[in-house]
């Protein structure tokens, strides 16, 4: 049972373009939605996170959009750079529960 569904599986974007990764969840008890970035040979690292009481959070070129009624959230990477090429994971957790990860999106930004 996959509680957090992530798409697309892979994404290729030109330098300067916008990368968009989408996630959907089913468990309405989830109250924290982080995104993790993983480079080859490294562990995932927290990129940005949001709570369901806000609809958007922006940190630099990275923005999370959150739609509570649709139970969906997405990561937008503005002005994508080759250095952004990595695997991105959405995740969700409920209070006192473990983190549940999406299946990952491999992003390639072409120079």
Partner 1 sequence: DTAVSQTPKYLVTQMGNDKSIKCEQNLGHDTMYWYKQDSKKFLKIMFSYNNKELIINETVPNRFSPKSPDKAHLNLHINSLELGDSAVYFCASSQDAGAGNQPQHFGDGTRLSIL
Interaction site with partner 1 (CB under 8 A) = 31-32, 34, 38, 41-46, 49, 51, 87, 89, 93-101, 103-104, 106
Residue 34 or 63 having the CB closest to partner 1: 34
Per the CB < 8 A criterion, the answer to whether 49 and 33 are in contact is yes
For residue 71, give both structure tokens. 């139970």
Residue 96 or 111 having the CB closest to partner 1: 96
Q: How far is the CB of 19 from partner 1 (least distance, A)?
A: 17
Q: How far is the CB of 75 from partner 1 (least distance, A)?
A: 16
Residue 44 or 80 having the CB closest to partner 1: 44
Q: How far is the CB of 53 from partner 1 (least distance, A)?
A: 12
Question: For residue 27, what are the β-bridge partners?
Answer: none
Where are the strands (E) in 1-104, listed by range? 4-7, 10-14, 19-25, 33-38, 45-50, 56-59, 62-67, 72-77, 86-92, 100-101
């Amino acid at each position: 049972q996959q509680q957090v569904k992530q798409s697309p599986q892979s994404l290729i974007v030109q330098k300067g373009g916008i990368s968009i990764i989408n996630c959907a969840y089913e468990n309405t008890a989830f109250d924290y939605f982080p995104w993790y970035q993983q480079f080859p040979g490294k562990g995932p690292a927290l990129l940005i996170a949001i709570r369901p009481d806000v609809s958007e959070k922006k940190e630099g070129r990275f923005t999370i959009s959150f739609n509570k009624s649709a139970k969906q959230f997405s990561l937008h990477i503005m002005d994508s750079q080759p250095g952004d090429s990595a695997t991105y994971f959405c995740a969700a957790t409920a209070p006192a529960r473990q983190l549940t990860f999406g299946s990952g999106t491999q992003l390639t930004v072409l120079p």
